[in-house]
Structure 1
């Protein structure tokens, strides 16, 4: 079994979502899901030759007042 310790790192309290590939999406943007805003921490772009491509966004909830 693999275990990861991410407490205290930049990936603590993050989760990933998949979106349809869009080169216009940047880390400067935010994502809103329900009433919560999330910073985009990382974008793993699908640069394959497939007809339908997906990118993985790593999100982290924005801090209050930030």
Structure 2
């Protein structure tokens, strides 16, 4: 697979991943964490806000592979 095709597929995967991850994070945040204390909410949103980077980084690494 050439690099241009990999970048196109990777871009579609990245956008799809971020949309899906945000939807799940908002649903869990609204359903479960909304009734929790302030500290639990902060910890949840900090962790969930940073956790999407790991799969995105793996996709980007795959896109840039020769």
**TM-score of the aligned structures, taking structure 2 as reference length:** 0.23
Structure with higher helix content: 2
**TM-score of the aligned structures, taking structure 1 as reference length:** 0.23
Structure with higher strand content: 1
Larger-gyration structure (1/2): 2
Q: Which has the higher contact order (CA 8 A, sep 6+)?
A: 2
